[in-house]
Amino acid sequence: MSAPDGFEDDLLHAMTRTGEGFGPNGPAGLAAGGLARGRRRWRRRSAAAAVGGAAALALVGTGAVYLTDGSPAASRPAPAASGTPDGGSAGSASPSAATSATPSASPSPSASASAARAVIGADEVLAAFRALLPPGEVTEAQASGTDAGTRPDNPGVPGASLVLDDGKGKAAVTISFSRLGTDGPAPAENDCPDKKYVSFDACTSTVLPDGGRITVLQGYEYPDRRVATKWWSAKLTGKDGRRIELSEWNAPAEKGKPVSRPTPPLTADQLRAVVTDTAWDRVVTALPEPQVPSSPPRPAAKEYTREEILAITAGLLPAGLEQTETGGQPGFADFVVNDGKGKSLVQLNVQDWSKDPSGGGIFGGAETLPDGTRVVVRKQPGKLVMWTVDTLRPNGLRVVVSAFNGGSQAAAGTRSAPALTIEQLRAIALAPDWKPKK
């Protein structure tokens, strides 16, 4: 997406790795995890950085923080500029060239995985990319071949980028390639993002006959739409491990330049056609196999599932409030309530912090209850108001509950205050129903 993200170098319009409660960045930091979760699936760089320790993955902007033991920080792919700048018209393809392929099945590599892998050069990647785009003037073209990342002078990822003017205005277009292990992340990670965190106009996610997935998103460069830059993308994750990500904008650059046309040049069907074209079989086959970790990953900490968090919280809500638009992942859940005055987003983190009983400095000056539980209350003002009750129990269980004055973090609030009061948030966070997972 993010692309993160985020979680973003994506994710997005400037990213930070620590939020309030996980560092000195102020109360807005506790607000980015939801947005990060939605957008990191989209703005993921092929070479993701890891966030270690009991850190928060946080995006700049309003949103919540997802507390975690460590997870990739991701962004949209950005190919290295090791190819050849180019200009002139875009190849010999007809205007419909990019719609000739049909994403009815994931393409198969043209050679077996065991075959010797020839390097696909930057010029070949760029030529194939240009041939699949509509005709027009191409400038600022650059590319990296499949040896990207294997040489000090070419540290990027395989891919290409250019500015295309098809007669309707200049538009930045990029593509990147990576290869996952066949036992890597499930193609379902390509699911459309949650609209509570990512603003978009349209998104479709299709499972291919071989079990791969292709998702096309028509959204915006900035979730708050503070500029009119549109970001449209397609991501293909194949069962053979291929990941192909294509992005385009209605401006000559992802950021920093005014829009030059109403929409990006490629339609949703054309985006699908480009990422599923068999021209990329050679590129994917030439990519090195993903490296296997030298040591097995640490066993995941026992966490509350999204369903468990939602079930407990449902019984703790004030009378008359019901959970809608539910979402989440292990250790985190969110939902929307409406008290008749408009939607209000609610988020919960439930995590084991027994390995850091000090709370990482977050609870300095906190209220301490008779049983030793520490409580911090935060009120973040602004167009999107966020109220948070953050608690850490002597047994190490940390429960954080936040509520917003709107049903989405991707837009300004729609009511004067959250639907839940600080007292009600406090009652949920301190409820005896929350117990460490055994």
User: What is the CATH topology of the domain spanning 306-429?
Assistant: Protein Transport Mog1p; Chain A (3.40.1000)
User: CA distances (Å), 289 to each of 69, 277, 389, in order?
Assistant: 27, 21, 46
Q: Count other C-beta atoms under 10 Å from residue 14's C-beta.
A: 12
pLDDT for residue 8 is more than 60: no
Report the range of poorest mean pLDDT among 177-186, 235-244, 316-325. 177-186
Task: Give the β-pairing of 56-59 and 66-67.
Answer: antiparallel
User: pLDDT higher for 133 or 72?
Assistant: 133
Which amino acid, one-letter code, is at 421?
A: T
Asked whether residue 249 carries a pLDDT value surpassing 80, the answer given is yes
DSSP class of residue 64? Answer: B
Q: Write down the pLDDT at residue 294.
A: 56
Mean pLDDT of 59-66: 33
Residue 375 in this model has a pLDDT that exceeds 50: yes
**Comparison of pLDDT for 159 and 356, the residue scoring more:** 159
Using one digit for the tens of pLDDT, what is the confidence trace for 70-103? 333 333 444 444 444 344 444 333 333 333 333 4
Q: What is the pLDDT of residue 298?
A: 54
Q: What pLDDT is stored for residue 203 in this prediction?
A: 95
Query: What are the DSSP calls for 164-192, one per residue?
Result: EESSS-EEEEEEEEEE--TTSS-GGGGSP
Task: State whether residue 90 is helix, strand or coil.
Answer: coil
Q: What is the pTM of this model?
A: 0.64
The residue ranking higher by pLDDT, 412 or 296, is 412
What does the pLDDT read at residue 191? 83
Q: Are 312 and 434 in contact (CB under 8 A)?
A: yes
Average pLDDT over residues 280-294: 80
Kindly state the average pLDDT of the residues 284-302.
68
Give the pLDDT score at 37.
Answer: 36
Does the pLDDT of residue 326 top 60, yes or no?
yes
More confident residue, 193 or 76: 193
How far CA 241 is from CA of 55, 107, 116, 206, 290, in Å, comes to 29, 11, 17, 17, 9
Q: In this predicted structure, what is the pLDDT of residue 153? A: 61
In this prediction, residue 292 carries a pLDDT of: 59
pLDDT single digits (tens) 333-345: 999 999 999 999 9
Q: What's 148's DSSP letter?
A: T
Q: Is the pLDDT of residue 117 over 50?
A: yes
Residue 337 near residue 346 (C-beta atoms within 8 A): yes
